[in-house]
Copies of this chain bind each other. A is one copy, B any other.
Amino acid sequence: MDFPRIGRLPAGPRDLVSDVAGVTVGHATLAEGALQTGVTVLRPHAGDPFRDRVPAAAMVLNGFGKSTGLVQVEELGVLETPIALTNTFAVGAIAQAQIRLCVADNPQSGRAQPTVNPLVFECNDGFLNDIQALALGDAHYRQALDAAAADFALGSVGAGRGMSSFGLKGGIGSASRRAGAHTVGALVLSNYGRPEQLVWGGQPLGAALAAWLAQEPAPEKGSIIMLLATDAPLDARQLRRLALRAGAGLARTGSVFGHGSGDLALAFSTAYTLPQDPQRPMPAVALLHDALLDPLFQAAADATEQAIVKALWQAEPVTGRDGHARTALRALLPELLTSNPSA
C-alpha cells in the first residue's frame, strides 16, 4: 500500500487533531493567480481563550522564523487566542486581526485588563505565492475562525495553499494517536525538506525524487509548524517536553532541521483552563506523573509524522506566481516506489 500508516498506536476516530475533544480547525484560502496563500486557525476550545486560557508551551527546534507570541507563552505557560498559521509576511496583519477580535469580545483588553497576546505561526510560501503582495488581513482571519470545525480539509488549503515540501506540494496535515486513556493530536503546516531527503513512511525515496525533479541540491528555505493538542492533564513544563517529541517525528521524514527551516512546535492541553481574571478560582489539577509520559511522547512523534505524510498525500498540485508550480506527491508516488531499490 502506498499510503503509510505510522507506528503501532491506534488513531482516534477522525485521525485528526480534533480527536482531542473541543479542538476545531478552519481555513481561509486565497487561490487566484499569483496569490496562493491563506490562513488556518486552530481553536483550542469553543469558548474565549482570552478569558479561559489554555496551558501551552513551545519548543523552538530551529528559530529561523518570524512567529509571534512565543515570548509570553514561555513566560506564562498559556495561550490566550486561537492559534493562527499563515505566510511569513502576513504575521503582523493576522496578529492585528486577533487583537481586533479580542478587543471586540473583551472591551477592557489593554485597559483594565491586560493586552492580549497574539499567537501567529508562519512559513514562507514565496515560491508559489506573491508573498510581497501582503494580501491577507482581518477578513481572512475571521473567515478561517468562523469555519473552524472538527472536520476540516487537508493539503493545499488555508495556510497550506502555497507551501512546498521536498520540492513537491506541501500544506496542511493532521493526525491523532491514542496513548492509553489520552489522545494526542497533531496539526502541521508543512513547508520544509529538500527532495533528496524524503523518507516516506520509512522508505527512503529521496534519491528517486531528486532524480525525477532533476533539481540541484538547494539550501533548505522552508519551515514546519507542528501543533500538538492533548487531553492529558499536563502543565507548561510537561507540554514543552511533549512539543520536543514532534521533532522526533519530523526527523524520521528525513529532516535534519535545516538552517533555513524555521521548525517550531507548540503543545497545549485541553484538560483544564486557567482564568484570565485573578478573582476567579484556580482549578485544582492533578497532573499526569512525568514517569507516565512515554506513551504520550510516542503518540506525539507518531502523530506528527503521520500528519506530515497526510499533508503530502492530500496536497493538490498548485501553480502560482510567475508560473511556479509544485507537483503533488500522490501522482508521483508509484514511480518513486518503483525506482527505489530498497522499497
- Enumerate chain A interface residues (CB-CB to B < 8 A): 8, 60-72, 74-77, 88-89, 91-96, 99-100, 103, 109-111, 114-115, 117-118, 124, 126-127, 131-132, 134, 196, 199, 202, 204, 207, 219-221, 235-237, 241, 244-245, 247-252, 255-260, 262, 264, 274-275, 278, 281-294, 297-298, 300-301, 342
Oligomer: number of copies: 4
* A65 CA to B249 CA, complexed, in Å: 23
Give Cα A244 to B96, complex, Å: 30
Taking CB as reference atom, which chain B residue is nearest A117?
A: B66
Q: Is the interface of A mostly helix, strand, loop or mixed?
A: mixed
Q: Which residues of B contact A95 (CB under 8 A)?
A: 68, 91-92, 95
Contact B241 A75 (CB under 8 A): yes
Could you tell me the distance in whole angstroms from the C-beta of A76 to the nearest C-beta in chain B?
6
Q: Mind listing 12 A-B residue pairs with CB under 8 Å?
A: A65-B72, A68-B95, A75-B241, A91-B95, A92-B96, A111-B126, A236-B237, A247-B248, A248-B257, A256-B298, A259-B290, A259-B294
* A90, chain B: closest CB distance, angstroms: 9
| Contact A251/B301 with A64-B75, A275-B289, A294-B258 known, Cβ cut-off 8 Å | yes
| A88-B110, A236-B237, A274-B289 known, 16 other contacts, Cβ within 8 Å | A60-B71, A61-B244, A63-B71, A65-B71, A66-B68, A66-B115, A89-B96, A91-B92, A111-B126, A115-B124, A199-B202, A235-B237, A245-B256, A247-B251, A249-B251, A278-B289
Measured between beta carbons, the chain B residues less than 8 angstroms from A91 are 68, 92, 95
